Structure 1
């Protein structure tokens, strides 16, 4: 299989990454110019990024109740994932099943050799074989594109800014030195941290949405059947309207990983969406189905 690139999408991802880099350099420059002792928080943020990168898969599996399943338990699911892994030139990931009435799927893991592709038990009952394969191919595309690594790196200094925001009052109490000067500098750092956190969060979410488009394209190329993914996305999205809000709230913490987020309707996540709209995804897949580059 030839893994092609969407040039326009790639350029948008590169531009977003470049803007993130500029924001982070400005943020670090302001901290340095003010003489702010941010080394400890930098170490803490690095530690958080390390834990997120190396242990996020285990945390996601634990928090969602996903169980790694053997081939004799779900032989058809294993065969589909193994076939897609061969087509994508990847090692076969571990296979997980999540008990939930919310039809969904996700991939996690720090690298192709440490990946997990999981589905909910309800999605296997709802989709046809072709639709389920298209959904699994979307998740395999995430693995091939190393999206976990990309988004962890993109969110690193956003975590640092968030830590400064949360610990600003503590730092103001123990700043030492000239109290007035320190307080003025701390207030400026706090304001800059808010701006950096907001801008970097919006840019990271934009990057996440671009990664979803890329995974949709990868699914279409792995299966040579973009209409199967269109059908699957419409079914999953339509089913969400009938899922009780409390059931969607139970899994909202994993929405960034899901193929379609399970929004309960009373969360700010809709303002900072990690996924493009269904309409835009379907339009992009329709273009692929029509033979557009």
Structure 2
């Protein structure tokens, strides 16, 4: 059922979006500070500049072609309004409510129930759903999921993820430069920078810290998309119900891990692989039970 106006009980969603936006900015700042610290410790600005050029170049290309790469990895095909009238109607309505251009609509022939949005900005965006999610969810729940994905596009989360990936890549490149310097003996006097054992330690800790921060940024953006998506639809309970179904559906029919699917998994509304991984703090997705609890709280708060 479509909501005509936003209930006042959802006003706290804006607060959640602002809070997660602030958290994202802080995490990006910490990641940038870590890069500067590592760069300074490794001995000057030359390596930092080289790492920046390489990392931003690689991730810039990835960002520009992110839409094409993600859709190709999921074997997604664009569908017209005639081919998928219900899907198109929901996306068009939500895009209008979000005051953004209508994204292109794709369907992936994948049994795992999931959805994702991609594209470098709202004018070059696409929303993709799997056949599994179309079979699993009713129209109200599907609308909740698509509101979440529309929010990712409106919030420019692909850009934020690309910036985080670029910064994290810089740390790995800096470590590689330092390792080559220690191995081949270039880089100045022995006292001018860290020793070989220190570089090995940095090779372990630096990427680990960057990965943890990058995962935390991803989780923060998922929380923000939940809250702003619920504002767009005016129906947080629908997204909560959809997330519960999706988690059960993924457990029953997980996505087969592959090099192509792994990068796309971070874009999806839920982790498409079975199991919880090593630790929650390494996950790109928040705990589903916590997401559901937050959404239900948005819906049950009394009107002022």
Matches within 5 A, 1:201-212: 201-212=211-222
Residue equivalent to 1:158: 168
In the TM superposition, what is the alpha-carbon distance from 1:183 to its structure 2 partner?
Answer: 9.1
Residue equivalent to 1:228: 238
- Structure 1 counterpart SS, 2:283: coil
| 2:250–2:274 contact (8 Å) kept in structure 1 | no
Matches within 5 A, 1:8-27: 8-27=19-38
Counterpart-to-counterpart distance in 2, 1:156 and 1:292: 43
Structure 1: unaligned runs, 5 residues or longer: none
Change (3 A) 1:270 1:287: closer
In the TM superposition, what is the alpha-carbon distance from 1:271 to its structure 2 partner?
Answer: 5.6
1:94-145: CA deviation from partner (whole Å, max 9, x where unpaired): 1111111100000011111111110001111111001001100000000011
| 2:142–2:242 contact (8 Å) kept in structure 1 | yes
1:199 paired residue among 209, 212, 223 = 209
Structure 2: unaligned runs, 5 residues or longer: 7-12
Counterpart-to-counterpart distance in 2, 1:143 and 1:75: 21
Question: Which region of structure 1 is more displaced relative to structure 2, 251-260 or 175-184?
Answer: 175-184
1:284 paired residue among 275, 278, 294 = 294
1:222-269: CA deviation from partner (whole Å, max 9, x where unpaired): 1111111111000010112211x5x43254442101101112349558
Residue equivalent to 2:256: 248
Counterpart-to-counterpart distance in 2, 1:115 and 1:50: 17
1:264 paired residue among 274, 282, 290 = 274
TM-score, normalised with respect to structure 2: 0.85
In the TM superposition, what is the alpha-carbon distance from 1:158 to its structure 2 partner?
Answer: 1.1
1:66-108: CA deviation from partner (whole Å, max 9, x where unpaired): 1222222212211111111000000011111111110000001
| 1:104–1:236 contact (8 Å) kept in structure 2 | yes
Does residue 46 (structure 1) correspond to residue 56 (structure 2)? The answer is: yes
2:102 paired residue among 79, 92, 101 = 92
Question: Which region of structure 1 is more displaced relative to structure 2, 259-268 or 213-222?
Answer: 259-268
- Structure 1 counterpart SS, 2:256: helix
TM-score, normalised with respect to structure 1: 0.88
1:149 paired residue among 133, 156, 159 = 159
Change (3 A) 1:88 1:76: same
Does residue 136 (structure 1) correspond to residue 121 (structure 2)? The answer is: no
Question: Which region of structure 1 is more displaced relative to structure 2, 253-262 or 225-234?
Answer: 253-262
In the TM superposition, what is the alpha-carbon distance from 1:160 to its structure 2 partner?
Answer: 1.7
